[in-house]
Amino acid sequence: QTLRQIAEFSPKSQLHCGEIIDAPAFKFRGYMDDIGRNFRTIDQLKKVIDLMSRYKLNVFHAHLTDYPAWRLESKAYPKLTAPETRYPTRLPKRGYTQAEMRELVVYAAARHVEIIPEMDMPGHSTYFKRATGVDMQTEKGVEILKTQIAEWAKIFPSQYFHIGSDEVRIRMKSFIPSMVAAVRSHGKTVVQWYK
């Protein structure tokens, strides 16, 4: 990519002998897209990943759940991705199958881009309550989330798993520790928003 960038700005794309010394200043060079809120097609996401790779960004933070929708197919709880539970103004019929997301993960990896998923909890979860009939901060809600974490852990090979946990009052004292333990049980490192 460095060579390509140099060539673009060289007269007539001619390159002379030289030495390229190039190393990233930061381990993670990322981009976040709130596709739970604003849906993008897989083709659109592939274009984003192509651009990221071009400019040496290596982490795509896929924010897959938000107030309007839970965008990734759930085999265990199909109602989570049912169009009737989504906001009618935010492309309610659009979501991703697990197969589509696996395809995107492979596509990104081939371009040296890691996809880190975010399952926002317990905030930004209006869709969750509408779809399941329970709040995330209940025993049943925790059970459903643990099942979803297990499903997602099989789709995303990333070491990291984002659980959100911002912009909401945590009422259930065991909620965050339970979710952290669930993520770690799949060999993942927990990431969450600070404040």
* 195 pLDDT above the threshold of 70: no
pLDDT at 117: 98
pLDDT tens string 41-63: 999 999 999 999 999 999 999 99
| 34 has catalytic annotation | no
* 159 pLDDT above the threshold of 80: yes
Cα distance between residue 9 and residue 2, in whole Å: 11
| 167 has catalytic annotation | yes
Cα distance between residue 67 and residue 70, in whole Å: 8
Catalytic residue selected from 34, 61, 114, 124: 124
Cβ contact 128:141 at 8 Å: yes
In which band, very low, low, confident or very high, does the pLDDT at 164 lie, cut at 50, 70 and 90? very high
Higher pLDDT, 6 or 186: 186
| 43 has catalytic annotation | no
Cα distance between residue 150 and residue 36, in whole Å: 19
Catalytic residue selected from 34, 66, 73, 118: 66
pLDDT at 83: 84
In percent, the amount of the chain with pLDDT more than 90 equals 69
**135 contact partners, CB below 8 Å, separation of at least 6:** 122, 125, 128, 129, 141
* Residues in the chain, overall count: 195
pLDDT at 89: 78
- Average pLDDT for residues 168-172, to the nearest whole number? 90
Residues 86-95: contacts with CB under 8 Å, at least 24 apart: 86/127, 87/127, 90/37, 90/38, 90/39, 91/39, 92/68, 94/39, 94/41, 95/39, 95/69, 95/70, 95/71
End-to-end CA distance of the chain: 36
Range from 88-102, 111-125, 152-166, 179-193 carrying the lowest mean pLDDT: 88-102
